[in-house]
């Protein structure tokens, strides 16, 4: 349901004022240049800020611009990614840096379509970079923004599993004509720090009086149950263990070293094969393995 123009104006005023007073001091906000914003957006996918911060800061010191990263092997990006998880993002970021150098003279492009054409950049990331780095007016829908809009404007505890056309129309209807990038950052901040998924702090919410979910008595989510992702014993955990061995070694890694990291041979070899298929690991001489060159 689209809020009334009066409610939209109130949302803008109250939330942006709250953001001015409570926004976290984050490096990609202090320096919203295109490259730091692009790096942060890829690192923050499915990863909390507290884990991203040290990796981001080390990354920017080592590779302050796309040509710096593009000049190094992709394996160095995987090594520097550390334990952020979903390490294919490191390969995509390296590939994006190469494309930026080859197609855009080393500068992150401002055009939304050009951003969308970069490796690893989807609709959300393209809109976020265009908005935060270039001040353009785009709908920016990450998990936190979607949850805030579902509760405040639609009266639902959670949004749908995937972005819907109705949800995108709703987000567009509340997007300010001026300062859309600040609105996106403010709604993200509210979702990340106050209107959280499991323990929302409605008593501290600046827009509580305008929230339809709160006014309806916080109705429970209707639909398929939201399941957390398992970890112990999964292929994801196995892949992470194997990749950690390779990251920590400057020499080719033997199968015996990988066996020490994960004793289940069938699962270990299946996960090793998947890492090779994903381009995160490459076979070397004598049945050894390395990060990609």
Structure tokens at 181: 């990038």
Q: Do residues 32 and 185 lie in contact, with contact meaning Cβ atoms separated by under 8 Å?
A: no
- Cβ contacts of 271 within 8 Å, gap of 6 or more: 235, 238, 239, 242, 262
Known catalytic residues? 41
- The number of beta carbons lying within 10 Å of the beta carbon of residue 76 is 18
Q: Do residues 1 and 153 lie in contact, with contact meaning Cβ atoms separated by under 8 Å?
A: yes
**Bridge partners, 284 (sequence order):** 288
Q: Do residues 49 and 26 lie in contact, with contact meaning Cβ atoms separated by under 8 Å?
A: yes
- The number of beta carbons lying within 10 Å of the beta carbon of residue 164 is 12
Structure tokens at 151: 């509760």
CA separation for the pair 262, 201 (Å, rounded): 41
Structure tokens at 178: 């001026």
Instruction: Give backbone dihedrals phi and psi of 241, rounded to 5 degrees, phi first.
Output: -65, -45
Q: Do residues 35 and 104 lie in contact, with contact meaning Cβ atoms separated by under 8 Å?
A: no
């Amino acid at each position: 349901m689209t809020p009334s123009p009066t409610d939209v104006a109130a949302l803008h005023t109250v939330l942006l004022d709250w953001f001015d007073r409570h926004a976290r001091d984050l490096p990609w906000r202090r320096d919203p240049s295109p490259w730091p914003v692009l790096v942060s957006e890829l690192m923050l996918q499915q990863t909390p800020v507290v884990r991203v911060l040290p990796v981001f800061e080390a990354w920017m010191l080592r590779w302050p611009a796309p040509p710096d990263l593009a000049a190094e092997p992709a394996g160095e990006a995987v090594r520097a990614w550390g334990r952020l998880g979903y390490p294919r993002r490191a390969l995509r970021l390296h590939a994006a840096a190469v494309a930026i150098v080859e197609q855009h003279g080393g500068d992150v492009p401002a055009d939304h379509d050009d951003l969308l054409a970069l490796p690893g950049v989807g609709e959300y990331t393209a809109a976020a970079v265009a908005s935060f780095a270039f001040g353009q007016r785009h709908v920016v829908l990450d998990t936190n923004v979607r949850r805030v809009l579902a509760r405040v404007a639609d009266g639902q505890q959670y949004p749908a599993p995937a972005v819907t056309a109705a949800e995108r129309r709703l987000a567009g209807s509340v997007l300010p004509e001026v300062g859309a990038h600040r609105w996106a950052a403010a709604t993200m901040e509210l979702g990340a720090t106050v209107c959280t998924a499991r323990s929302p702090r409605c008593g501290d919410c600046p827009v509580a009086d305008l929230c339809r979910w709160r006014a309806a008595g916080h109705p429970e989510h209707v639909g398929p149950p939201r399941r957390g992702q398992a970890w112990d014993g999964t292929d994801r955990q196995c892949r992470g263990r194997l990749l950690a061995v390779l990251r920590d070694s400057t020499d080719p890694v033997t199968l015996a070293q990988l066996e020490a990291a994960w004793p289940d041979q069938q699962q270990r070899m299946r996960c090793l094969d998947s890492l090779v298929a994903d381009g995160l690991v490459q076979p070397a001489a004598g049945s050894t393995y390395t990060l990609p060159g």
